[in-house]
Amino acid sequence: MKAPYKTYSTYFKLMFIISIAALFSIGCNKKPKVVCATSDNVTYTKDIAPIIEVKCFKCHDAKSYKTKASHNKIYDYPSLKKMAESGLLMGSLTHKKGFIPMPYRAKQKIDTCAIALIASWINTGMKK
Ligand code: HEC
């Protein structure tokens, strides 16, 4: 009865080695986890305005917002702050149920780190 045991143990050892190898290869092929740069001092001028300009001004800049964004004003500090305070900004950016997803009709959210930065701007009192 010795031989089968020995075979089994060899078999399990082999399986063990294969699974470890598999785990390693999965680990190596996986995309690195998104780590967003954070800042203790997020400001509208330095951090937030540039994101809004690039991602939202196509429709929301001073010239177009009336016609292209149904008068939803977010192109300066007071207007964006107001939109953030109402909850509409984060609701739209995170595509939360009951909000109109932004960017409008893009199907995709803006990148995770940009949303995180805007959230942290709101949570730290929307500094100018
Ligand atoms: C392609 C044009 C377009 C782009 C780009 C766009 N918006 Fe809009 N946005 C609109 C339109 C149109 C509305 C009004 C939608 C409606 O009332 O049906 C709107 C409305 C909004 C509202 C109000 C939503 C509500 O529930 O009343 C917010 C907040 C907003 N946009 C934020 C943004 C932000 C932030 C970005 C950039 C990440 C952005 N939008 C990009 C067209 C756009």
Mean pLDDT, residues 98-119 taken together? 97
Chain centroid, CA 60 distance in Å: 21
Mean pLDDT, residues 46-67 taken together? 98
CA 13 / ligand 1 centre spacing (Å): 58
CA 102 / ligand 1 centre spacing (Å): 5
CB of 89 within 6 A of ligand 1: the answer is yes
Q: How many other C-beta atoms can be found within 10 angstroms of the C-beta atom of residue 118?
A: 23
Question: Ligand 1 atom closest to Cα of 103?
Answer: 41
CA 125 / ligand 1 centre spacing (Å): 23
CA 66 / ligand 1 centre spacing (Å): 11
Determine whether 122 is exposed, middle or buried from the number of CB atoms within 10 Å of its CB (0-12, 13-18, 19+): middle
What average pLDDT does the chain have?
89
Is the distance from CB of 111 to CB of 36 less than 8 angstroms? no
Determine whether 84 is exposed, middle or buried from the number of CB atoms within 10 Å of its CB (0-12, 13-18, 19+): buried
CB of 23 within 6 A of ligand 1: the answer is no
d(CA 61, CA 97): 26
How far CA 22 is from CA of 17, 25, 50, 73, 107, in Å, comes to 9, 5, 43, 52, 35
CB of 109 within 6 A of ligand 1: the answer is no
Q: Above pLDDT 70, what percent of the chain?
A: 80
- Of 19-23, 105-109, 123-127, give the lowest mean pLDDT range: 19-23
Chain centroid, CA 98 distance in Å: 19
Mean pLDDT, residues 111-121 taken together? 97
